[in-house]
Structure 1
Amino acid sequence: MNTLENTWTWLQGAMAWPIIQTTDFRISAGSLAALVVLVLLLFWASKRLQRWLSEGPVLRNRLDPGARMAVAAVVRYTVLLVGLLAIVQTVGIDLTTFNVMAGAIGIGVGFGLQNVVSNFIAGLIIMFERPVKIGDRIVVGGVAGNVVDIGARSTTVLDNDNIAVIVPNSKFITEDVINWKYNDDNVRFHVPVSVAYGTDAQLVKRVLLEVAHADPDVLDEPEPNVWLQAFGDDGVAFELMVWSATMVDRKGKLISQLNYAIYERFNAEGIEFPFPQRDLHIKGGVLGIRQVPAG
């Protein structure tokens, strides 16, 4: 019994041992331990709250996934801010004592963490204005992929190779962003095709439209269209334009399967692809042609 009492007495003394002490400020080991435990619990609880709001039934039927993520993130950061202030006051730390220190830290943050702060503010702008949302197909700074997560500092983009690219949020504010799904999922694709001179243009148009209508990933409305683009040096340039809502994330695959079908139909219809042609003009002299014996 005496051993337990002595241990408890020693533990109380250790917890009361001052780590930082001034004339009007004191932080004990117990206060610091309580601060660490409470902060860890706050971060854990705020993360669980964010996940519950973004995936739970409260907002599932009222908001789309992007809006739920934005609301959940804002709520989490608010809870963290209020919770940290409450925890500091609860463990007995007087914030007014840190006024001078906070000013110095603020200056350091302003100069040393400009990018972090700008990315955080840009993240809040993205969450509220929503120029990009979870699931959007975007192109920014040479990165193309689907938005899978929007955080406070960065946005995660998953490309077609299943590689996650972490893009700082400030890029979405300072650079041009291409959002393929901003209005809806319908996107028009352009497939250039060239044929040899002398080919029936109406036949080419009919074959291209038949290929487009036969593809299951091409929409009938808006309907496909064929334009005669130009008379090139080697052939006539056409362009097949189709709409798709299912292949926005796989543009290369849709164009490839259309090109395969066009190649097969052109061969079946006897439509020739162009090859480089050059006219040779001899202004004077004699051009001799001599046959070289085989072997």
Structure 2
Amino acid sequence: MMDAERIREFLDRGWEQVIALGSDVNILSQLLAVVGGLVFAYFTRRRLQVALTSLRGRFPDRSPFAKTLEILAGLSLPLIWLAIEFAILAIFQGVGPQSHIISAICSLLVAWVVINVVTSLAENKIWARLVAFCAWTVAALNILGLLTPTLEFLEDLAFNLGETRISMLGIAKALVAGIIVFWITFGLSRFLEARIHKSRALTPAVQVLTAKLVRVGLISMAVLIILSNSGINITAFAVFSGALGVGIGFGLQKIVSNLISGIILLLDRSIKPGDVIEVGQTYGRVNTMGARYASVITRDAMEFLIPNEDLITQQVINWSYSSKNVRLRAPIGVSYDTDIPKALKLIEGAAQEIPRVLSNPAPKCLMRGFGDSAIDLELRFWIADPEDGCRNVTSEVLVGVWELFKKEGINVPFPQRDIRVEMVNPNSSVPSDKEDGK
């Protein structure tokens, strides 16, 4: 268990040093110079920020100069404080008294500025701040000469978990290594995924699968590196992994099923980003394919998240599986007094005038039969962009046919009923109720 007496002794010794330093006039003057410089920097940082921001507006947004000025504007306070402390340090060194505190403050501020400038280049701000905090903490302890005592102190704070000795130093190393390794891992993963998605040699499905495998591989390597550096025996996780497998088999069955279904879809390329599919009542374009679901955007800009398992087990209509060419049908009726051969040519010509209708294969109109009030025709035509909608192009074709029929005088019939009224002669021999005995 942790040694409480050792901790108390460490704190008492530190407090005695603070009291001893507080009685020195030189040290008090240096502390006053440090606090005064901080106050002055705090009240003047706004002017520097405004100046750097106005200067940044003269450069394009993605220019390196604009990015540099933006980073410096965020570091206005430590930059002004650093400049003041450098000037005070020069004065102290010129006068003669030792200035260890101001020199340490300058070193700490330089480390803070450099670390923040480097980490500000990262896209993920949360990981960048964590890395900056860890790096500056180590640098500060090293500058103050407290790194070695702190490491020894943390190594002494340990406890036993079974046969494994776990120290606070090992935990701290694991946390710092985890933050840095994961920061590098995620940055490298984003870079590789961007390169993979830009590759024209890979199909969209292979790009998605390769990017996911790269991310999983990098994260697995990062976890192994962290565990090995923290001194934890990796073989001790064998029992845990077995229990985890049982938990996955029972509690996470659907999640694992969707994950495996997503891998199958990416491998067999039956459904890939950009395809136009129809699942049940959902019709739309596949936007993205994730580990658990596929995103399908309909013509109404509604985004459906369909589980990968449903795409494997249910019937799916892929309008663009082997080819994007799709044949559409449009029923049309004409009156019985219409010149049918002429009507067929007019309908086919009207379809050819629509830009989205393909000329090869050419539109074809057929006579399907004799209806109750019209001759039934059917126009068949092809399009190559089902992701832009099918009903809208069918509407354009029918409007074109309607306008051409009006121009040529062809009637489109509608159901009619003839009512025939027969008049009865009152002098006819129709038996009455009385004659029938009623």
Residue of 305, 311, 317 corresponding to 1:178: 317
In the alignment, what sits opposite 2:272? 133
Q: After TM superposition, list the pairs within 5 Å mapping 1:107-256 onto structure 2.
A: 107-256=246-395
Q: Which amino acid aligns with 1:229?
A: R
Q: Which has the higher contact order (CA 8 A, sep 6+)?
A: 1
Is the contact between residue 255 and residue 292 of structure 2 (CA under 8 Å) also seen in structure 1? yes
Q: Which amino acid aligns with 1:259?
A: L
**Coordinate RMSD, CA, aligned:** 3.0
In the alignment, what sits opposite 1:42? 185
Q: After TM superposition, list the pairs within 5 Å mapping 1:68-79 onto structure 2.
A: 68-79=207-218
Shift in CA distance, 285/104, structure 1 to aligned 2, threshold 3 Å: farther
In the alignment, what sits opposite 2:223? 84
Shift in CA distance, 272/13, structure 1 to aligned 2, threshold 3 Å: farther
Shift in CA distance, 131/247, structure 1 to aligned 2, threshold 3 Å: closer
Structure 1 range deviating more: 96-105 or 126-135? 96-105
Structure 1 range deviating more: 41-50 or 131-140? 41-50
Secondary structure at 1:170's aligned position in 2?
A: helix
The CA distance in 2 between the partners of 1:189 and 1:15, in whole Å, is: 75
Residue of 121, 144, 166 corresponding to 1:26: 166
Is the contact between residue 158 and residue 164 of structure 1 (CA under 8 Å) also seen in structure 2? yes
Shift in CA distance, 174/256, structure 1 to aligned 2, threshold 3 Å: same
In the alignment, what sits opposite 1:291? none
Q: Which amino acid aligns with 1:136?
A: D
The CA distance in 1 between the partners of 2:284 and 2:160, in whole Å, is: 51
Is the contact between residue 247 and residue 254 of structure 1 (CA under 8 Å) also seen in structure 2? no
Q: Residues 35-92 of structure 1, C-alpha deviation per residue, up to 9 Å, x if partnerless? A: 531234423422332222112xxx32x2233333333323332333344334322332
Is the contact between residue 174 and residue 229 of structure 2 (CA under 8 Å) also seen in structure 1? no
Secondary structure at 2:272's aligned position in 1?
A: coil
Structure 1 range deviating more: 1-10 or 118-127? 1-10
In the alignment, what sits opposite 2:149? 9
TM-score (norm 2): 0.58
Deviation at 1:6, TM superposition (A): 5.0
Q: Which amino acid aligns with 1:243?
A: W
Deviation at 1:98, TM superposition (A): 2.5
Larger strand fraction of residues = 1
Unaligned runs of 5+ in 1: 288-295
Is the contact between residue 274 and residue 287 of structure 2 (CA under 8 Å) also seen in structure 1? yes
Unaligned runs of 5+ in 2: 1-13, 19-143, 426-438
Deviation at 1:196, TM superposition (A): 2.6
Q: Percent identity?
A: 32
The CA distance in 2 between the partners of 1:112 and 1:275, in whole Å, is: 60
Is the contact between residue 136 and residue 146 of structure 1 (CA under 8 Å) also seen in structure 2? yes
Structure 1 range deviating more: 71-80 or 134-143? 71-80
In the alignment, what sits opposite 2:401? 262
The CA distance in 1 between the partners of 2:308 and 2:160, in whole Å, is: 39
Shift in CA distance, 47/13, structure 1 to aligned 2, threshold 3 Å: farther
Is the contact between residue 230 and residue 237 of structure 1 (CA under 8 Å) also seen in structure 2? yes
Q: Which amino acid aligns with 1:71?
A: T
Aligned residues, how many? 283
Shift in CA distance, 70/225, structure 1 to aligned 2, threshold 3 Å: same
The CA distance in 2 between the partners of 1:169 and 1:231, in whole Å, is: 46
The higher radius of gyration belongs to: 2
Deviation at 1:127, TM superposition (A): 1.2
The CA distance in 2 between the partners of 1:20 and 1:231, in whole Å, is: 92
Deviation at 1:265, TM superposition (A): 0.9
The CA distance in 2 between the partners of 1:173 and 1:203, in whole Å, is: 48
Q: Residues 96-137 of structure 1, C-alpha deviation per residue, up to 9 Å, x if partnerless? A: 222223222222222111111011101111111110122111
Shift in CA distance, 217/41, structure 1 to aligned 2, threshold 3 Å: same
Q: Which amino acid aligns with 1:50?
A: E
Is the contact between residue 188 and residue 243 of structure 1 (CA under 8 Å) also seen in structure 2? yes
Is the contact between residue 273 and residue 289 of structure 2 (CA under 8 Å) also seen in structure 1? yes
The CA distance in 2 between the partners of 1:285 and 1:79, in whole Å, is: 95
Is the contact between residue 328 and residue 380 of structure 2 (CA under 8 Å) also seen in structure 1? yes
In the alignment, what sits opposite 1:293? none
The CA distance in 2 between the partners of 1:19 and 1:262, in whole Å, is: 86
The CA distance in 1 between the partners of 2:295 and 2:155, in whole Å, is: 43
The CA distance in 2 between the partners of 1:35 and 1:71, in whole Å, is: 27
The CA distance in 1 between the partners of 2:420 and 2:155, in whole Å, is: 100
